[in-house]
Amino acid sequence: MDAVRDLRKKYCPAALFIAIMVAMVLIFAGHRELARGLILGTLFSIINFVLMGMSIQLRMQKTRRASTIAALLLVLMRFGFLAVPVVVALNYDKFHVVTAIVGLFMVQAVILADALRKMVVPGQS
């Protein structure tokens, strides 16, 4: 599963870097709660992406029944993890709900941006 590991090494640091840069701009603009929400959501987005990679590996290593059960449990666990930043942001004023939700989509946004970049400038990897 080197391909999954390579994707994780490519997209997760990029997502975190973008979130940190945007958070720094937000902090300098005086919006600390927006920055905190974005970083919180991005961290959980990365956890979700790692868990997706684990679920792919589990599906390929076990029998059909065992892999189905493992995949279902991992999906439920991922949904639970994705709910954490939203619940935290709703309960604490130090985190902004909307930016936490935006952060939850940070890894997906980086993947989409990379795919669009490859469409616009073909031949790059």
> pLDDT tens digits, residue range 45-91?
999 998 888 777 766 666 778 777 877 888 888 899 899 999 999 99
Structural domain spans, the chain = 2-120
Its pTM stands at 0.86
For residues 103 and 41, the answer to whether their CB atoms sit within 8 Å is: yes
93/80 Cα distance (integer angstroms):
21
Q: 80-111: per-residue pLDDT in tens?
A: 989 999 999 999 999 999 999 999 999 999 99
For residues 11 and 73, the answer to whether their CB atoms sit within 8 Å is: no
